[in-house]
Structure 1
Amino acid sequence: MANVGGYGVCHIFVIKEKYFENKKCPQGIYYMKSIRWKLVFMYLSLVFIVLILTGSIIIISTQTAEKNQIREELRQCAIYIDEQVIEQYDSRYFQESLENLSAISSSFQNVSGNIINPDGQTIASSSAKKNTEIPTFTSSAVIAALSGKDSFADSDRNVAADGSVTRMMSYAYPITNDDGTVRYVVFVRMDVEEMYTSIARTTRTIIVAMLIALAFTALLGLLFANTITAPIAVLTRKAKLMAKGRLEQKVAVKSDDEIGQLTRSFNTMARELKKSVSQMEEQRNKLEIVLMNMTDGVLAFDERGTLIHINRAAYDLIDIDDVKINLKWLLEKLDIDLTSLSPNTIYEKNIDDEENGRYISAAFIPYAVQKKMNGIIVVLHDITKHRQLDNMRQEFVANVSHEIGTPLTTIKGYTELLLDGAIDDQTVAVDFLKEINIAADRMKVLRDDLLDLSRFDTNVNKLNKEEVDLVELASGCVRQNIIVAENKKQKITFTPPNKVMLIYADVGRVNQVITNIMSNAMKYSDEGTTIEVKVIEKRTTYDLSIKDHGIGMPEEAIGRIFDRFYRVDKARSRAMGGNGLGLAIAKEIMDSHNGVIEVYSELGKGTTMVLRFPKSSIIRY
């Protein structure tokens, strides 16, 4: 392994499913992060240890058995020399006898026999040739035998004339006298080079067998590990897909073991997770729909003031552009200071948007997680209608007070005059009482109109509806008002169509509406003008139009003439006895008949009021 810049460059095999990744590390460490290869490594390690132990035992056992067999052969040879040479011959004939014995006995093919006297000198040797010097032995086995103990030597070496060295095993067998002293030592040696060569071949065979076994073990280990890791790899892949939002994952169960149980648990988890996410998504969608369709504006900002949610109403209420929305911008727009806002407080402020004619109530609600403020929710409530209703209420109270105050002042003034003595003058008293009566009538009319409106507001005003001819009804109203018109030197024109036009209505109430509109037409028209009344049939309605050529109305007043107590010309209306409730009552009556009042007017040229009634054949009320 080469060192570069003081660091060793090593291959780290990061095994994830089916790929390797080369990396650099400061030390040559082998990392294996895959369960598959960990299992294979453990399996190979276990088998390798077993094979090493088994091979070692076999080799040691074989070597031990071979050595024991050679030792036994050497012992037998030594005893044979003792019996056939030393016991049979004189020491002068030991050499010759030993040579003859080696020649005729098969036991001495690889064994050399030697006889040594008590002084350690070799007096006979089967390996000595004629005219050659008999070798001298200094083996530890010989030394031990000279002291009276037989001994083996497994590590002797024999150096040949050509310098080659041969491994030998030796055995020294002492032959003693009756008193225990050593007479001779029989020293036999055997060439064991072939044994060691055989053991080496056996060792090589065992090593080759171990390598083959390890190869097969690795293959089987991979197959075995794959049965465990393949389902895990599938589960990992499916889990990654689920992490990306694809929750419809399912893994086939192929076994009943722990992996199968894990797979079943994964499928159950995926199913429950999908169900939970679906429920959460459904709840989120519901909440989103609720927020988006709320009439109140809702904005949510995170702790950095970045907008994270806004609904449709918020856009409409403060006319904002989401490109530039943030909390700082909103606070500046609404002129609000939230520096003192804490997680447990709610800041509220009413905002008058005079430019757009709106009144908005803004509530700033901080939300916190573990006592740390994580953002602010802003709720905008349009209180324009409430303001308008409040203003209308105030105006209504003021108008009622004024309408009641005028006749009351008249009554009180004339009453005081009568009490002060005017009652004594019968003519004056009668005139005063007539004025008091007129003022009381005005108060009664006002009370009746207010009661009518109240009944319509509370839906307790009962209508006696029936099928009635609109043409006949209009003709009756014209006849009732024609005398009033003549007194003002005005003219009412009406040409009844030769057709029955049936509507489903309360005769009295419809007559009240027509009379009120005709009365207004005559009031606000000059002498010598004409009031035109027409009844026209449309596809689904019958339209009754009343057109005058009076003073008319400005365009901005048309949308308000049905408001209670509203008058275009207040001074003229009061002078003519109007209280501003007639058209409001007329609209309520038309609404209760599913009808419509339409107004067309031009200042200085006159006004046309159209009463549109549904046909009786179209609808029943």
Structure 2
Amino acid sequence: MMFWRSVVFKLWFTFLLLISIVLFILTVMLLEYFQQYHSDQTKKGLENTATKISAILSKHQTEAGVEIAWDLLDDEMGATIIRSSDKVILSPKGQVTKLSPHYLMQNKKLSDAISKGKTKVITIKDPINDRDQLVIVGTPLIESGKSSGAVYIYQSLKVLNETKNSTTKFIVLAAVIAIVLTTIFAFFLLTRITAPLRKMREAAFELAKGNFDTKVPIMAQDEIGELAIAFNNMAKRLNFNINALSEEKEQLGNILSGMADGVITFNKNGSLLITNPPAERFLQHWHYEQSDHAKEGQVPTKVKELFLLAITTGEEQIDEIKLQGRYWVVIVSPLYNKEFIRGAIAVIRDMTEERKLDKLRIDFIANVSHELRTPISMLQGYSEAIVDDIAGSEAEKKEMAQIIYDESVRMGKLVNELLDLARMEAEHVDLLKEEVEISSFLQKVSRKFNALAKEKNISLIVDSPSVAQAFYMDPDRMEQVLTNVIDNCIRHTPIKGKVAIDCKVDSSGVTWTIEDTGIGISEEDLPFVFERFYKADKARTRGNSGTGLGLAIAKNIVEAHHGHISVHSKVGSGTTFLIYLPRILE
């Protein structure tokens, strides 16, 4: 900070200005007083001298009287005696300008007063030097009881001006000394005052930086000391409040971060204030869907509409939004500052799982009913035909019995798969793990589909590790997984299509990639691929269409191996399944 902006400079300048004004006024008054005093004294002295000379000359009309009169003059005085006989006598003394008798006699003020027998004192400019002034005293000369002339005594005020200049120099010198002493005293005093103020300023800057443990030393018990005590108490209280606010903010942040629901707060203008991770994921889904058209800080139009309704009506607003195949319920409520609405809060709940479970529940009942209705109807129909002797020959009865057997086997397989799936989801599956050579294992699984691939004119490409590598897993269960996945890929790949199976083994585990060039899976069906009774064929045709439990069982088997299975697909571009098993030492 610049010195002339500091408190020390301002107070010092104030003291200096005050002292300068006082000294200036005092100097003017003293000089005026001295000038007036010396002028009056000079006039009185000249008047007395002129009166004495006139009296002496009245008594002693000879040259002796003149000599006595000259003795009354000092070196700064001049005198002129004019007698009625036109005799003019000039004083031999005096260093002042000699005034001509004619000039003195022509002065109206002097001549009028002398003619009336009075003594007159006037002040004029020095005819020779305009910068100086002369004081002239004229008194009548009385000889033998009659006025016989006049006595003029004059003195220059140059001496008075020199005295005035000397006095001025003395006062200026005194003023300079006073200013120097005042400056020293002021800086000493102000240092004692501003030192604690500087400490407080530094402490205030520390507080502004966030260092709330700063304390100001108490250097005195005066008002500044009390200010330091108040400052320390303020810093202590502020530190306490900031810590409390930080704890509350951290607690609120933890609560918001730990919430499963998304939370967005808006101000009254609709600008975003606070979001938590689930809300940010919701906004990311929307931004991704909008591509480059969405700007930072924007929210879906539906959320904006709900916000405006909540602000306008002061009531809670609820609606559902679908983004990227997920379902979100948005609840917007107004926030109040006493009786005024200051913003709104939006709670965003991901209802995808609930909608998914609802769909699965409905589909499960429909699928189980569908899968069981057909074989049960066939069992019932053919058994009634046998009971009613509709079959005319043993061959027909045997054929009907075979159909009844096949359908019962199909029902048994469906029930067993449901039981296996239930046990797996309850984590009651037992894995019989052993060391398996991956290359030969994959060749064994792929050979089962050579005939089916050839029949459908589909290229089945297998890329297995060239070096024999063993992996610890349950071979029967993993064969079941790969069989289900490869079978799905072949069934949904058109003629002259391609199914590629790739296997990689490294230090982290084994990865199978099964990729086809089939019809693909729609975006809305993609989340349900590994759910029970999922079928890409919505008509649920029988035969090779399966029960829809294969991929659900495959997912549970892979997860039992602590791995994961995923699928990527686009309609018309094929489907890719990725199966990964980590290498776990047991």
In the superposition, the TM-score normalised over structure 2's length comes to 0.52
Q: Which amino acid aligns with 1:273?
A: L
Of 222, 233, 253, 2:217 maps to 253
Q: Which amino acid aligns with 2:407?
A: A
Change (3 A) 1:308 1:521: closer
**Counterpart-to-counterpart distance in 1, 2:436 and 2:317:** 60
Indicate if the aligned counterparts of 1:590 and 1:596 stay in contact, CA closer than 8 A. Answer: yes
One of 543, 554, 557 as aligned partner of 2:519: 554
Answering whether residue 416 of structure 2 is matched by residue 444 of structure 1, we say no
Instruction: Tell me the equivalent position of 1:469.
Output: 437
Shift of residue 323 of structure 1? 6.8
| Candidates 227, 232, 256, aligned match of 1:267 | 232
CA distance in 2, matches of 1:257, 1:336: 59
- Alpha-carbon distance in 1 for matches of 2:273, 2:570: 52
Q: Which runs of 5+ in 2 are unaligned?
A: 15-178
Letter in 2 for 1:511: E
Closer, same or farther: CA 257–523 of 1 in aligned 2, 3 Å: closer
What residue is the counterpart of 1:351 in the other structure? 321
Q: In 1, are the aligned partners of 2:520 and 2:574 still within 8 Å (CA)? A: no
Q: What is the one-letter code of the residue matched to 1:379?
A: V
Q: Is the 8 A contact 1:554 1:601 kept in 2?
A: no
SS in 2 for 1:553: coil
Q: Which is higher, the Rg of structure 1 or of structure 2?
A: 1
Q: Distance in 2 between matches of 1:605 and 1:369?
A: 55
Residues 348 and 362, structure 1, Cα contact 8 Å, conserved in 2: yes
- Equivalent-residue separation in structure 2 for 1:455 and 1:525 (angstroms): 32
Classify the secondary structure of the residue corresponding to 1:579. Answer: coil
- Conservation of the 8 A alpha-carbon contact between 2:499 and 2:517: no
The answer to whether the aligner puts 1:233 opposite 2:203 as a matched pair is: no
CA contact (8 A) 2:520 2:570 kept: yes
* 1:578 equivalent in alignment to 2:540: no
- Shift of residue 377, structure 1, vs aligned partner: 1.4
Give distance in 1, aligned partners of 2:402 and 2:424.
Answer: 33
CA spacing shift, 1:552–1:490, aligned 2, 3 Å: closer
Moved more, 360-369 or 260-269: 260-269
Q: Which residue pairs with 2:123 in the alignment?
A: none
Does residue 388 in structure 1 map to residue 338 in structure 2?
no
- Pair 461,536 (structure 1): closer, same or farther in 2 beyond 3 Å: closer
d(CA) in 1 for partners of 2:316 and 2:487? Answer: 56
Describe the shift of the 1:525–1:245 C-alpha distance in structure 2 as closer, same or farther (beyond 3 A): closer
Q: Report the secondary structure of 1:338's partner residue.
A: helix
Shift of 1:589: 1.9
AA paired with 1:461?
V
User: Which residue pairs with 2:67 in the alignment?
Assistant: none
CA deviations on 1:52-110 (whole Å, 9 max, x unpaired) are xxxxxxxxxxxxxxxxxxxxxxxxxxxxxxxxxxxxxxxxxxxxxxxxxxxxxxxxxxx
State the shift of 1:266 in Å. Answer: 3.3
The secondary structure found in structure 2 opposite 1:403 is helix
Q: 1:376 aligns with which of 344, 347, 353?
A: 344
Contact 1:238-1:249 at 8 Å conserved across structures: no
Find the partner of 1:365 among 333, 349, 371: 333
1:544-566: CA deviations, max 9, x gaps? 7889xxx9621336957545333
In the TM superposition, residue 237 of structure 1 has moved relative to its aligned partner by 3.4
Judging changes above 3 Å, is the alpha-carbon distance between structure 1 residues 500 and 326 closer, same or farther for their aligned structure 2 residues? closer
Per-residue displacement from partner, 1:392-439 (whole Å, max 9, x unpaired)? 332233222211222222223334444545489755444333323322
The 8 Å contact of residues 521 and 569 in structure 2, kept in 1 or not, is answered as no
Asked if the contact 2:321/2:330 (under 8 Å) is kept, the reply is yes
Contact 1:491 1:530 in 2 (8 A): yes
Once the two structures are TM-superposed, the CA of residue 264 in structure 1 deviates from its matched residue by 5.0
Distance 1:416 1:432 in 2: 10
Superposition deviation, residue 595 in structure 1: 5.2
Distance 1:260 1:373, change over 3 A: same
SS of the counterpart of 1:253? coil
The answer to whether the Cα contact below 8 Å between 2:270 and 2:307 also exists between their aligned partners in 1 is no
Q: Distance in 2 between matches of 1:538 and 1:425?
A: 59
> Shift of residue 504 of structure 1?
0.9
For residues 25-424 of structure 1, what are the structure 2 equivalents within 5 Å?
Answer: 230=194, 233-234=197-198, 237=201, 241=205, 244=208, 247-248=211-212, 250-253=214-217, 255=219, 257=221, 260=225, 263-264=228-229, 266-267=231-232, 269-274=234-239, 276-278=241-243, 280-281=245-246, 283-284=248-249, 287-288=252-253, 291=256, 296-303=261-268, 305=270, 307-310=272-275, 312-313=280-281, 315-316=283-284, 318-319=286-287, 333=305, 337-338=309-310, 341-342=313-314, 346-352=316-322, 356-422=324-390
Is 1:620 aligned with 2:585? Answer: yes
Once the two structures are overlaid, the 10-residue window that deviates more, 261-270 or 389-398, is 261-270
Cα RMSD, aligned residues only: 5.9
Q: Would the alpha carbon gap of residues 566 and 488 (structure 1) be closer, same or farther in structure 2, given more than 3 Å must change? A: same
2:499 is the counterpart of 1:511? no
Write out per-residue CA displacement over residues 442-466 of structure 1, whole angstroms, 9 at most, x where no aligned residue.
Answer: 2221222222223333333221222
* Residues 553 and 602 in structure 1, CA contact (< 8 A), matched pair in contact too: no
Which runs of 5 or more structure 1 residues have no equivalent in the other structure? 1-14, 21-33, 38-214
| Cα pair 2:311 2:343 within 8 Å, conserved | no
C-alpha change, 1:306 and 1:602, in structure 2 (3 Å) is closer
8 A contact 1:545–1:611 mirrored in 2:
yes
1:25 is aligned to: none
- Give the match for residue 201 of structure 1: none
Task: Provide TM-score, normalisation by structure 1.
Answer: 0.49
1:239 Cα deviation after fit: 7.0
CA distance in 1, matches of 2:442, 2:345: 60
Contact 2:364 2:532 in 1 (8 A): yes
Which of 446, 449, 455 is residue 423 of structure 2 equivalent to? Answer: 455
In structure 1, C-alpha distance between the alignment counterparts of 2:316 and 2:205, rounded to whole Å: 43
**Native 8 Å contact 1:601 1:607 kept in 2:** yes
Residue 378 of structure 1 aligns to which amino acid in structure 2?
A
Please say which of residues 271-280 and 233-242 is displaced more in the overlay.
233-242
